[in-house]
């Protein structure tokens, strides 16, 4: 009997069974290409039964497995062949990706007895890899196109995914936050939302944040509603967390309009000047102290008064505003203190005044510097005794009100000129807050720009627009004589003009591209106008007011218009709060 060579393969039934244990398919053919055996794994891979193929020509049976490029039965000098992977389709139309290898089989006498073909199914692995790559890729595409902010974190709390909407809401580019702690966008490692996400990752339960917040790159606080869930792998082990969140800026605005409630969120500023004011407001809002707010027009005195009211114990009671400059002098007393039936011609019934309406709450006396001297004495008594006589009445009415007043004129200067009672000034000036002009806190301009853009875009139900670098440079270098109100008008103008996703220099009003010669006056700020008529009219009003020491009644008489018309023109030209 010839001697068996070291590398000769002598196949037995046990060998095929062993390959079955390894989930490796195998079949053999003899030198006439007749199928001699097929293990269970090969039958399963190819969708065939051994009884149906034994004794048949392999070229007829295995039509789904093309013949080897190099057939061992034709070229007996070849010992092993490794062929490229091939995809086959079995009788059930199931696709399989197979790696094939052919080995010659010898008998005991070292004669070529046939061929062993080994089939390794790589489809499960390939499918898994493809599914991971495809699902990850397609999931990211889907998540990037949803109108909801989404980000994921790993077990350590580091951000691993950040979709397009999350970028728009937060103001961060994903490249700035990927790999960073999620506290970056929450602003604090101990924030409520951070705790909810951490709890979800620990317990595996979903948590909801109905009034959450994130902090943008510029430091602006954005109200959100968020859901937090744990991310698990196929073995149900928690590997991280996922957050979905919605921007509630528009919802907050609607709530403010309906309820007329304002909070510290509505006052924007991180400059030292504004931070000092916030600290003072946080202390005084919890008291009933009388407050005087001074500052140039457009700096937000009205807003600050509302914030103080809604942060105090009177928040659930009325907040009543009286614009002392907008009400004609002859109607101001009856508006503020009310009147009785028959007090004057046309008074056919009793009518409560603004102080009555504010009972239990806060009354805000805006433009207090324009209050006529005749009424200042009556207001002084209300401040001292919280009581007054309605017009035409002999009966005292008592009220429990907190008084907040505001002016852009400087009451001390008016006192020196004899236009404002000194004793009333001291009664009003118990706690004074001085709001700086916008050009005096330039560190806040960029923050305000992003905040206003977000608010205006939310009202229009559009995504916040980007601002080009050149546009931002122009906006940061402008002096804003009309302060925050003028900045709002400029940005609203740009949003109306822009039809793109970015605010460009040509979308900004023409007058901020070139310097306007300011008109100097005692405590008024210049306001830029390109229209020559309006510019001249404004200068005339400013000059007349200066000549009359700020007294609007005298200025209106000199200009030949009534006091209400003067107020409207001053409002148009940004000369009052």
Same domain, 509 and 527: no
The Cα 270–Cα 219 span in angstroms is 8
CATH number at 555 reads 1.10.10.60
The Cα 42–Cα 20 span in angstroms is 8
362 phi and psi angles, rounded to 5 deg: -125, 140
Nearest CA-CA partner of 365 in 297, 431, 423, 319: 319
- Select from 385, 415, 434 the last residue of a domain: 434
318-347 pLDDT, tens per residue? Answer: 999 999 888 887 788 888 888 888 777 777
The Cα 408–Cα 176 span in angstroms is 42
117 contacts 27 by C-beta, under 8 angstroms: yes
The Cα 166–Cα 149 span in angstroms is 4
Same domain, 150 and 201: yes
Residue with tokens 């007090």: 343
The Cα 99–Cα 122 span in angstroms is 7
**What's the confidence (pLDDT) of residue 6?**
42
Note whether residue 133 is domain-resident: no
Same domain, 74 and 178: no
The Cα 436–Cα 418 span in angstroms is 26
CA–CA–CA angle 253, 256, 257 (5° rounding): 90
**What's the confidence (pLDDT) of residue 292?**
95
**What's the confidence (pLDDT) of residue 523?**
39
Note whether residue 161 is domain-resident: yes
**What's the confidence (pLDDT) of residue 17?**
64
Same domain, 182 and 194: yes
Note whether residue 182 is domain-resident: yes
Same domain, 459 and 503: yes
CATH number at 31 reads 3.30.450.20
Same domain, 410 and 478: no
Same domain, 349 and 417: yes
Spell out the alpha helix ranges (H) of 372-525: 373-385, 411-416, 422-428, 445-459, 469-477, 483-497
**What's the confidence (pLDDT) of residue 23?**
65
- Select from 392, 410, 434 the last residue of a domain: 434
Note whether residue 130 is domain-resident: no
The Cα 483–Cα 404 span in angstroms is 22
Note whether residue 255 is domain-resident: no
212 phi and psi angles, rounded to 5 deg: -90, -175
Residue 187, Ramachandran bin (φ over 0: left; ψ between -120 and 50: alpha; else beta)? left
Nearest CA-CA partner of 105 in 76, 69, 141: 76
Note whether residue 126 is domain-resident: no
340-372 pLDDT, tens per residue? Answer: 887 777 777 888 889 999 999 999 999 998 888
Spell out the alpha helix ranges (H) of 47-113: 50-53, 58-61
Same domain, 430 and 443: no
Same domain, 474 and 559: no
Half-sphere exposure of 435 (CA within 13 A, CB side): 27
575 contacts 297 by C-beta, under 8 angstroms: yes
Note whether residue 2 is domain-resident: no
The Cα 265–Cα 268 span in angstroms is 7
26 contact partners, CB below 8 Å, separation of at least 6: 16, 19, 38, 39, 41, 42, 116, 117, 118, 119
Residue with tokens 């009354």: 363
How many Cβ atoms sit within 10 Å of the Cβ of residue 518? 13
CATH number at 406 reads 3.40.50.300
How many Cβ atoms sit within 10 Å of the Cβ of residue 384? 11
The Cα 13–Cα 1 span in angstroms is 22
Mode of pairing for the β-strands spanning 362-366 and 319-323:
parallel
Residues linked to residue 388 through DSSP beta bridges, in sequence order: 397
28 phi and psi angles, rounded to 5 deg: -125, 150
Same domain, 465 and 558: no
Same domain, 479 and 336: no
- Select from 199, 224, 247 the last residue of a domain: 247
Nearest CA-CA partner of 115 in 23, 212, 37: 37
365 contacts 375 by C-beta, under 8 angstroms: no
Mode of pairing for the β-strands spanning 466-467 and 502-503:
parallel
List the chain residues with pLDDT less than 50. Answer: 1-10, 64, 66, 68-69, 82, 125-135, 257-261, 516-530
Rg (CA), the chain: 41
Q: How many residues make up the chain in this entry? A: 577
**What's the confidence (pLDDT) of residue 259?**
47
**What's the confidence (pLDDT) of residue 442?**
85
466 contact partners, CB below 8 Å, separation of at least 6: 501, 502, 503
Residue with tokens 């046939």: 114
**What's the confidence (pLDDT) of residue 115?**
82
Note whether residue 162 is domain-resident: yes
Domain count, the chain: 5
Same domain, 288 and 366: yes
CATH number at 484 reads 1.10.8.60
The Cα 309–Cα 381 span in angstroms is 22
The Cα 467–Cα 474 span in angstroms is 11
Burial status of residue 525 (CB atoms within 10 A of its CB: 0-12, 13-18, 19 or more): buried
How many Cβ atoms sit within 10 Å of the Cβ of residue 225? 15
Residues linked to residue 38 through DSSP beta bridges, in sequence order: 27
**Residue 95 structure tokens:** 């696709």
Residue with tokens 């991280």: 240
Containing domain of residue 158, as a range?
Answer: 139-247
**Residue 352 structure tokens:** 């409560």
Nearest CA-CA partner of 423 in 457, 471, 379, 470: 379
């Amino acid at each position: 009997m010839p001697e068996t060579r070291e590398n000769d393969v002598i196949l037995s039934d046990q060998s095929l069974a062993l390959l079955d244990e390894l989930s490796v398919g195998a079949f053999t053919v003899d030198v006439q290409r007749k199928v001699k055996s097929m293990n269970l794994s090969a039958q399963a891979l190819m969708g065939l039964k051994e009884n149906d193929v034994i004794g048949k020509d392999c070229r007829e049976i295995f039509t789904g497995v093309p013949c080897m490029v190099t057939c061992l039965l034709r070229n007996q000098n070849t010992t092993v062949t490794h062929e490229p992977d091939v995809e086959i389709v079995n009788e059930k139309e199931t696709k399989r990706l197979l790696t094939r290898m052919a080995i010659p089989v010898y008998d005991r006498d070292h004669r070529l007895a046939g061929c062993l073909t080994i089939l390794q199914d790589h489809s499960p692995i390939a499918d898994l890899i493809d599914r991971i790559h495809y699902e990850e890729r397609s999931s990211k595409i889907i998540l990037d196109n949803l109108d909801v902010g989404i980000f994921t974190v790993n077990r350590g709390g580091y951000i691993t995914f950040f979709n397009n909407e999350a970028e728009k809401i937060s103001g961060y580019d994903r490249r700035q936050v990927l790999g960073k702690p999620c506290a970056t966008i929450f602003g604090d490692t101990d924030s409520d939302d951070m705790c909810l996400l951490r709890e979800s990752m620990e317990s595996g339960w979903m948590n909801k944040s109905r009034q959450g917040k994130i902090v943008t790159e510029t430091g602006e606080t954005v109200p959100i509603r968020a859901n937090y869930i744990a991310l698990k792998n196929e073995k149900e082990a928690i590997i991280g967390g996922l957050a979905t969140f919605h921007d509630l800026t528009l919802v907050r605005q609607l709530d403010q309009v309906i309820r007329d409630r304002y909070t510290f969120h509505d006052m924007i500023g991180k400059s030292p000047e504004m931070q000092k004011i916030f600290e003072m407001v946080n202390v005084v809002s919890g008291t009933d102290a009388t407050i005087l707010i001074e500052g140039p027009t457009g700096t937000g005195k009205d807003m600050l008064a509302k914030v103080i009211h809604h942060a105090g114990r009177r928040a659930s009671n009325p907040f009543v505003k009286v614009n002392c400059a907008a009400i004609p002098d002859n109607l101001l007393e009856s508006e503020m203190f009310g009147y009785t039936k028959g007090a004057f011609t046309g008074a056919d019934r009793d009518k409560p005044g603004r102080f009555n309406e504010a009972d239990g709450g806060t009354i805000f006396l805006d433009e207090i510097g324009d209050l006529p001297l005749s009424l200042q004495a009556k207001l002084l008594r209300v401040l001292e005794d919280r009581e007054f006589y309605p017009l035409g009445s002999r009966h005292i009415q008592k009220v429990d009100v907190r008084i907040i007043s505001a002016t852009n004129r400087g009451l001390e200067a008016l006192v020196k000129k004899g236009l404002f009672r000194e004793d009333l000034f001291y009664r009003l000036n118990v706690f004074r807050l001085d709001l700086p002009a916008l050009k005096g806190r330039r560190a806040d301009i960029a923050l305000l720009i992003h905040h206003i853009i977000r608010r205006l875009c939310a009202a229009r139900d559009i995504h916040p627009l980007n601002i080009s670098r050149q546009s931002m440079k122009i906006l940061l270098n402008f002096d804003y004589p009309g302060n925050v109100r003028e900045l709002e008008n400029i940005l609203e103008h740009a949003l109306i003009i822009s039809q793109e996703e970015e605010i460009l220099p040509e979308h900004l009003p023409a007058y901020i591209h070139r310097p306007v010669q300011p008109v100097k006056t005692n405590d008024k700020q210049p306001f830029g106008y390109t229209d020559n008529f309006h510019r001249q009219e404004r200068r005339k009003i400013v000059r007349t007011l200066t000549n009359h020491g700020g007294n609007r009644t005298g200025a209106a008489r000199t200009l030949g218009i009534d006091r209400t018309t003067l107020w409207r023109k001053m409002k148009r030209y940004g000369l009052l709060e």
